[in-house]
Amino acid sequence: MATENKNLSVYDKNKIPNAKDLRFGIVVSEWNGQITEALFQGAQEALLDCGALPENIIRWNVPGSFELTFGSKKMINTQKVDAVIAIGSVIRGETSHFDFVCSATAQGIKDLNVAYDVPVIFCVLTDDNLQQSLDRSGGKHGNKGTEAAIAAIQMAVLGK
């Protein structure tokens, strides 16, 4: 597995651009809220640690991961952000619903990156079980939200 030997929360602050002059949108799925809230906390803490101002971090909630694409698009169109982080969690169940939601969400976020000059960072966990999600949202593998925030800073600077 890709994160088996990697802690997602480790970054060298000296190699990350200062985020003081950047605005970030964070769109958070309410589905699997225990996981998405932890991912949000990781993202927010990393942005602040890298110099982002609290007033330049805008959070919107959407019902589920499928709705992240629309929420991110509206964020881009209305909030003058330099990057958006789309946070979600889809945990495999007994039906193919998992496959449809994961595919549509990934495709939708990819489409936003092609259509707009504002990067949208994919911070959607697509795990087989709750423990894998916990491990990647502040557990033994760190926090994917932290990793997404660092990517958002780097991509926002690239986009300027």
Catalytic residue positions, numbered? 97
C-alpha–C-alpha distance, residues 66 and 101, integer Å = 6
Non-local CB neighbours of 12 within 8 Å, separated by 6+ positions? none
Tracing tokens 């939601």 back to the chain, one arrives at: 101
Residue whose C-alpha is closest to residue 30's, from 68, 69, 79, 84: 68
DSSP code per residue over 19-41: -TT--EEEEEE-TTHHHHHHHHH
DSSP state of 55: G
Q: Six-digit token pair at 93?
A: 């169940």
* Strand order across the 120-127 sheet: 57-62, 24-29, 83-91, 120-127
C-alpha–C-alpha distance, residues 136 and 89, integer Å = 10
